Every structure is written in structure tokens, then in C-alpha cells.
């Protein structure tokens, strides 16, 4: 990254933040430095970061000229302009037209050299910053956000183009019709360089590939239907049985082991609507909970499930979403009913490797809980990573699968169990049971609104990339 600034302090701060984000700020070539120095004050610094040392005040065109020279030099993969630019027209109206012209020159330079140019302006919103954004130049009001966006873009770029071959990212674009190794949907059927013979997945994790066609998605979209799809992908759940009446409830109680959990199958967010009862010690408690819940929520399919009683459990969430720009993405984070409160999650493109999944887990603030907090035994992070891999492959292999959410996933010493699940597929949004009343605040006969943490928080920051990096 090349940093161009009008202040030595701004440059030092940008370099420090870039280093923390894993970005390299290396000296420019001597020929580039000599060209940059032409027309700047003698005290200007040209190595990288470049400090205009007042040259921008003398001639606003210096900003565009220096950025263009750096972009043309081949010495950087991106240019970050940081400082006062964007404020001149606001503070000296007579300079507004010229500053806007320079803003457009920055945009043209980025397009001409096919190089990202980002701007951090000390002004939050001025005609110049709006002109930059309108011209496709990502512009930020603080340097931390600017460098953070560039670091995220670099990490995404490092994953390669969005062509998957056997679950791995290829280094070059592959034409499925021209390359016999590539099957329908871009899945590679032959071995890759570096893979073991016959191992289509290489190092993309330990779980086998999940081959589920979009038509295989269940017709229903309650908890049990989601379990059907996800169990086929190798994700474990506690034993459970569907019930619709008291006779079925008693039969399920006889086949399962107490204590029990009772759930309203069709509700997306069961806790909010009183659609789950936990820790039912015996059949009498189960029948009492069923009577109260069915009276309040109405008839429909309910689920009796064995309670997970393992000690030292950490609740996590694993989810996927098909992003309009990036395609399938997978998330892992702190789970349970406080998921939205903690906002502790990490995201990657899908499918991901087992190593990728472990790296995501380590980035979480709650990771110490998994490693054994205050004398607790460590939880099975390998099993959690395996579930992340499996869910990511399922999302990548099913174009019709828009969202999946496992929350909570209860991770213990001896493995994990997913105890609630939600899926959304194209054209078939989940809704309330046909014969049951709608949740509070929900109009009968219409699909239940999506209000989970998946769409509320996990992807908000990643979606901002589309706004800041148009195209």
C-alpha cells in the first residue's frame, strides 16, 4: 500500500494501522520518488508514506498528480490518500470547483491504472467527498475505517476469484464448458495439483463433500425440516420426534429419555414467542407444557427432543448466507439468546477449509471459553470447525439455499450438538404453521419476518463493502 498525505502525523498513523491490518507499506522506487518530488516543497517526504508538506495547499492538483504517479509506478497494489483533502472547498468556497476537479482526476487515475484509490478526509460530508463517492472512490471520515476496509478487501482478494474447483479456490478463471475437469455449477471432477490422488477436496477440511441438489431441500421449513437437510450434511442433533396431539406426545416420551425439551416446530425464534420449554423432568411435566403451549399457540407440529445435559458446554452459532455480491458466506460466533447482544462473530467465504474455520474461531472474543476458562476443560473446537466446514460446503453446493442458522450449537468436551436450526430457500420463505396463530405482531397468512442475528448483524459490515467498492 502506498500512503499519500499532507501531514507527517497522518502518515505515521496510517502506516501503523496498515501494519496492524497485515498490509505492507514499502519504500517506493527511486525513480518514482524523484518524479514525485518535482513541484513539491523541499521538505516533502517521498519514500512511503509520501508527505506533501504543504504542496497540496500550494496547488490542489498535487494530490492527483502524486497519486497518479504512485499508481502508475507499479510499486503498490492500492493508494490511500489521507488528510485535509475534501475540506478545502468547505473552508474556502472559491476553491470548491478546483477541488471537485481534482476529486474527479483521482477517480480517473484509479480507473486508468486499475488500482484501488481510497480517500480518508478530515471532512465527513462536503461537496468534494460526495463527488468522490459518486465517482466510485471509497471515501471515509476516519483513518481507522479506511484502513480497515482496505485490509478486508485485501483478505477477500487473497482468497482468489470466485470460481470454486472441488471446493478450493482456483488461481485462474475456469470455463466450465471448455475445461473437461469442471462439472455442472463449476465443480471440478478431477484432481488438483497438490491433492492426494482421488481426493477431490484437497485440504478443504476433513468433512466429505455434501452433494445435495436444490430440489432436495425439504418442502417444510420448520425445525424438523431443517434437521432433515442438515443431518444429511453430517451435523449432529439430539434425538427428537414430531408430535401433534397428546397420544403422540406420550409415545414420543416413551421412546426418548427424560429430561425433555418441547418446541413449536414452525416458529423461527422460539424463545421470543414462548415456543420452547426446557428441562421437562418427566412425562407429567412434558404433558403440562404441551397443554399450555398448544392452548396458547394453537394446533400444529411440535417437537419433543432429549435435553443435552453435558457439563461445561459453550453455546455458539454457525450460519450461512448467500450474499448478492460475494456468494455463499459462513459465520461462526457466540451463540444463544444473547447472540445479537454480544456481536461476537467472524465471517469467511464458503466453502472454507478446516484451517480457515479454526482461524475464524480464534478471532472470536469468546474463544477463551472454548479453550477452557477458569479451570474448565477445553471444548471440542475441532468438532466446531468441522461443523463450520460442513455448513459452508452445503451452502456452496446448493444455489437455492439462501440462509442457514444453527443457534445454539452446544460445544462440549466430547463434541457438539445443534439444538435449533433455521433454513431459508429461494422462493420458499418459512412461515407459521398453517393452522396455528401467527406470532405476536405478525399478520396471519404472511411469511414470518426474518429477524434473526444472521441478517441483523453478521453481514452488516461486510455488506458495506459493496457500497464502498462499487462494482
Of 115, 138, 158, the last residue of a domain is 158
For residue 363, being part of any structural domain is answered with: yes
Predicted pLDDT of residue 221? 65
Average confidence (pLDDT) over 137-144: 92
Decide if 185 is inside a domain.
no
Q: Does residue 457 share a domain with residue 351?
A: yes
- Higher-pLDDT residue of 444 and 140 is 140
Q: What percent of the chain stands above pLDDT 70?
A: 77
State phi, psi for 423 to the nearest 5 degrees.
-130, 150
Helical residues (DSSP H) of 92-222, grouped into ranges: 96-113, 127-134, 143-158
Assign residue 36 a region: left if phi > 0, alpha if psi is -120 to 50, beta otherwise? alpha
Q: In what order do the strands lie in the sheet with 302-306?
A: 240-243, 302-306, 260-264, 276-280
For 213-242, write each residue's pLDDT tens digit: 333 433 346 899 899 889 999 999 999 999
Where in the sequence is the domain holding 53, given as residue range(s)? 2-158
Q: What is the CATH number of the domain that holds 454?
A: 3.30.470.20
Whether residue 222 is contained in a domain is answered as no
The 10s digit of each residue's pLDDT in 177-188 is: 333 223 333 333
One domain, residues 342 and 408: yes
429 assigned to some structural domain: yes
Q: Give the C-alpha separation, 86 to 132, whole Å.
A: 9
Euclidean distance between CA atoms 455 and 331, whole angstroms? 11
Q: Which residues pair with 264 in a beta bridge?
A: 302
Give the integer Cα–Cα distance in Å for 79 and 68. 9
Q: Work out the average pLDDT over 126-148.
A: 92
CB 414 within 8 A of CB 381: no
Q: How confident is the model at residue 204 (pLDDT cuts 50, 70, 90)?
A: very low
- Average confidence (pLDDT) over 14-39: 91
Q: Are residues 97 and 131 in the same domain?
A: yes
- The rounded distance, in Å, linking the Cα atoms of 147 and 15 is 9
Banded model confidence at residue 19, pLDDT cuts 50, 70, 90: confident
358, 422: one domain: yes
How far apart are the C-alpha atoms of 259 and 306, rounded to whole Å?
6
Do 327 and 446 belong together in one domain?
yes
Asked which of 133, 158, 183 is the last residue of a domain, the reply is 158
- pLDDT value, residue 460: 46
Same domain, residue pair 10 and 145: yes
Write the CATH number for 282: 3.30.1490.20
The domain total for the chain is 3
The answer on 65 and 44 residing in a single domain is yes
User: Given this model, what pLDDT does residue 427 score?
Assistant: 57
Whether 434 shows a pLDDT value over 70: the answer reads no
- Bond into 49 cis (ω within 30): yes
Per residue in 347-395, pLDDT (tens digit) is: 999 999 999 999 999 999 999 999 998 889 999 999 999 999 999 999 9
| Angstrom distance (rounded) from CA 408 to CA 310 | 14
| Closest by Cα among 35, 65, 36 to 51 | 36
On whether both 295 and 323 belong to a single domain, the answer is no
Q: Assess if residue 394 is contained within a domain.
A: yes
Are 406 and 355 members of one domain?
Answer: yes
* Shared domain check, 287 and 343: no
DSSP string, 19-79: HHTT----PPPHHHHHHHHTTS-TT-B-SSSEE-TTHHHH-THHHHHHHHHHHHHTS-S-E
Q: Are 353 and 206 in contact (CB under 8 A)?
A: no
Query: In which band, very low, low, confident or very high, does the pLDDT at 336 lie, cut at 50, 70 and 90?
Result: confident
Verify that 24 and 136 share a domain, yes or no: yes
Within a domain: 261: yes
Q: Evaluate whether residue 224 is within a structural domain.
A: no
pLDDT at position 381 is 96
Task: Judge whether residue 162 has pLDDT over 70.
Answer: no
Mean local confidence (pLDDT), 55-61? 91
Is the overall model pTM greater than 0.85, yes or no? Answer: no
292 assigned to some structural domain? yes
Could you report the per-residue pLDDT of 245-256, keeping only the tens digit for each? 999 999 999 999
Looking at the predicted structure, is the pLDDT value of residue 170 above 90? Answer: no
Boundary-marking domain end, from 306, 331, 363 = 306
Terminal-residue alpha carbon distance, the chain: 21
Average pLDDT of the chain is: 79
- 406 and 292 co-located in one domain: no
Q: Where are the alpha helices (DSSP H) in 354-459?
A: 354-362, 367-372, 381-397, 453
- CATH label of the domain that carries residue 68: 3.40.50.261
**Stretch 107-136: mean pLDDT, rounded?**
92
Amino acid at each position: 500500500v502506498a500512503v499519500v498525505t499532507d501531514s507527517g502525523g497522518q502518515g505515521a498513523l496510517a502506516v501503523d494501522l496498515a501494519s496492524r491490518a497485515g498490509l505492507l507499506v514499502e519504500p517506493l522506487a527511486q525513480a518514482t520518488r524523484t518524479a514525485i518530488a518535482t513541484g513539491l516543497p523541499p521538505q516533502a517526504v517521498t519514500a512511503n508514506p509520501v508527505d506533501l508538506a504543504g504542496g497540496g495547499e500550494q496547488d490542489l492538483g498535487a494530490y492527483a498528480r502524486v497519486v497518479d504517479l504512485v499508481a502508475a509506478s507499479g510499486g503498490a497494489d492500492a493508494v490511500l490518500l489521507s488528510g485535509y483533502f475534501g475540506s478545502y472547498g468547505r473552508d474556502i468556497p472559491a476553491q470548491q470547483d478546483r477541488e471537485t476537479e481534482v476529486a474527479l482526476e483521482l477517480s480517473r487515475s484509479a480507473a486508468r491504472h486499475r488500482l484501488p484509490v481510497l480517500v480518508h478526509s478530515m471532512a465527513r460530508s462536503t461537496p468534494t467527498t460526495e463527488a468522490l463517492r459518486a465517482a466510485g472512490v471509497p471515501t471515509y471520515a476516519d483513518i481507522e475505517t479506511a484502513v480497515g476496509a482496505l485490509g478486508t478487501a485485501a483478505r477477500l482478494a487473497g482468497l482468489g476469484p470466485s470460481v470454486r474447483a472441488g471446493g478450493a479456490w482456483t488461481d485462474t478463471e475456469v470455463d466450465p464448458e471448455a475445461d473437461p475437469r469442471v462439472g455442472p455449477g463449476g465443480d471440478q471432477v478431477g484432481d488438483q495439483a497438490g491433492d492426494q490422488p482421488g481426493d477431490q477436496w484437497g485440504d478443504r477440511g476433513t468433512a466429505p463433500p455434501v452433494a445435495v441438489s436444490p430440489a432436495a431441500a425439504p418442502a417444510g421449513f420448520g425445525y424438523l425440516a431443517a434437521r432433515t437437510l442438515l443431518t444429511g450434511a453430517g451435523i449432529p442433533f439430539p434425538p427428537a420426534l414430531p408430535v401433534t396431539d397428546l397420544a403422540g406426545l406420550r409415545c414420543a416420551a416413551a421412546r426418548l429419555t427424560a429430561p425433555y425439551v418441547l418446541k413449536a416446530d414452525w416458529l423461527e425464534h422460539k424463545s421470543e414467542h414462548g415456543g420452547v420449554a426446557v428441562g421437562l423432568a418427566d412425562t407429567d411435566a412434558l404433558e403440562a407444557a404441551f397443554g399450555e403451549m398448544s392452548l396458547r399457540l394453537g394446533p400444529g407440529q411440535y417437537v419433543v427432543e432429549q435435553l443435552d445435559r453435558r457439563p461445561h458446554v459453550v453455546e455458539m452459532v454457525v450460519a450461512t448466507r448467500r450474499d448478492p455480491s460475494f456468494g455463499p458466506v459462513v459465520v461462526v460466533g457466540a451463540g444463544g439468546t444473547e447472540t445479537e447482544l454480544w456481536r461476537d462473530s467472524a465471517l469467511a467465504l464458503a466453502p472454507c477449509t478446516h484451517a480457515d474455520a479454526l482461524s475464524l474461531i480464534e478471532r472470536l472474543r469468546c474463544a477463551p471459553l472454548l479453550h477452557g476458562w477458569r479451570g474448565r476443560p477445553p471444548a471440542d473446537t475441532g468438532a466446531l470447525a468441522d461443523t463450520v466446514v460442513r455448513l459452508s460446503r452445503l451452502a456452496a453446493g446448493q444455489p437455492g439455499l439462501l440462509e442457514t442458522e444453527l443457534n445454539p450449537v452446544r460445544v462440549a468436551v466430547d463434541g457438539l450438538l445443534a439444538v435449533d436450526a433455521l433454513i431459508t430457500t429461494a422462493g420458499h420463505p418459512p412461515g407459521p404453521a398453517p393452522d396455528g396463530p401467527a406470532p405476536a405482531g405478525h399478520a396471519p397468512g404472511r411469511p414470518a419476518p426474518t429477524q434473526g442475528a444472521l441478517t441483523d448483524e453478521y453481514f452488516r459490515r461486510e455488506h458495506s463493502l459493496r457500497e464502498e467498492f462499487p462494482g
